Chain A
């Protein structure tokens, strides 16, 4: 299942664009990409999820890692998530730790 991502850091805002199906087979690649940003100073981490069709525990693992290792002082935003993604965040309890915009 197709998955694309891109990450950019602009003035302390980390933008993570997600498109397609974030599953166990491709979450590793995204995790490796996020590791590159450990140590940088960020105020906001924005996961752009409008085109994200699917996420499961492997993807949630990346979100948790990003918050714990990169954005421990940052606000984590989930931008325009689809219903399927929101339900997974609700199921896992992570909905309480992100801001939906």
Chain B
């Protein structure tokens, strides 16, 4: 397991995501489309921490575990900000006419679409959001080609 921490400011969004992808790449070679989905998933959850977790400033931490037996990656997004469960947000109606859509609300929806599982926990003074995502093995990649 690797834990990556940066100050929760917008300037650190991409550096942290790039670090996450680099650490995953140390363990497993993912397809470009899987890396893209991971980037989206991380962005949507980290931007919530950056924008809303802290009144002043604080850290954002992502713990990453690559489970090669299960062909799955487990992420845990952690902050010490105010208690906030993003899963309690109302799900956007993606069938709604574009003229009636609220401008926001899509971030967590996309996380749910990408991830196999999403779970929130308030632990002490921390928000912890655990997300799992399965990936295609090299064997499966070869069979596809």
Using a CB–CB cutoff of 8 Å, the interface residues on chain A facing chain B are: 1, 23-25, 54, 56-58, 60-61, 64-65, 67-68, 72, 76, 83-84, 87-88, 91-94, 96-97
CB of B26 closer than 8 Å to a CB of A:
no
Taken together as a complex, chains A and B put the C-alpha atoms of A63 and B47 apart, in Å, by: 19
Which stretch in B32-40, B65-73, B127-135 binds the other chain? B32-40
Query: Looking at chain A's contact residues, is the secondary structure mostly helix, strand, loop, or mixed?
Result: helix
Which stretch in B82-90, B92-100, B116-124 binds the other chain? B92-100
The answer to whether B110 touches A25 (Cβ under 8 A) is no
Taken together as a complex, chains A and B put the C-alpha atoms of A1 and B50 apart, in Å, by: 18
Q: Categorize the interface residue count of chain B.
A: 20 to 34
Using a CB–CB cutoff of 8 Å, the interface residues on chain B facing chain A are: 10-11, 13-14, 32-33, 36, 39-40, 43-44, 47, 50, 94-99, 101, 103-104, 106-107, 109-110, 113-114
| 17 extra A-B contacts, CB within 8 A, seeds A56-B43, A56-B44, A92-B110 | A23-B13, A23-B43, A24-B47, A25-B14, A54-B36, A54-B39, A56-B107, A57-B106, A57-B107, A57-B109, A58-B43, A64-B103, A72-B99, A84-B32, A93-B95, A93-B96, A94-B98
Q: Tell me, rounded to whole Å, the shortest Cβ–Cβ distance linking B122 to chain A.
A: 24
Contacts of B99 in A (CB 8 A): 67-68, 72
Q: Tell me, rounded to whole Å, the shortest Cβ–Cβ distance linking B80 to chain A.
A: 21
Q: Tell me, rounded to whole Å, the shortest Cβ–Cβ distance linking B112 to chain A.
A: 10
